[in-house]
Structure 1
Amino acid sequence: MRNRRVPFRRFVTIREISGLVIATLLATGCTASEAVGEGGFPPGGGGGRPPVQPPPQQPTSRLLPAALVGVWNGQDSRGIGSWYLAFQADGRYRRSNERRGITITGTATVQGTVIMFSPEGGRPYSSTWAAGGGRLSIDGSVYLRADQGQGASALVGSWIDTSGNYWATLRISADGTFQLADQAGGGVAGKIVVSGRQLTLQAAGRNPVTCGWAIDNGVLRLVRPDGAVSEYVRSG
Structure 2
Amino acid sequence: MKPEPNLDIQSTILPKLHKSIIQKILPNLNAISKDRYSILNGIGFELKNLITKHGVAKINFICTHNSRRSHLSQILFHTALEFFQVYHISTYSGGTEATALNDRVVLALEDFGYRIQKVQPNQFNQSHNFQENPVYEIHLSTITKPILAFSKKYQDDPNPKSDFLAIMTCDHASENCPVVFGASSKINLNYTDPKASDGNPDEKQVYSNKLIEIGIEMFALGKLLS
What range is the shorter-chain TM-score in? under 0.3
Greater RCO structure (CA 8 Å; 6+ sep): 2
Structure with higher strand content: 1
Structure with higher helix content: 2
Taking structure 1 as the reference length, the TM-score comes to 0.23
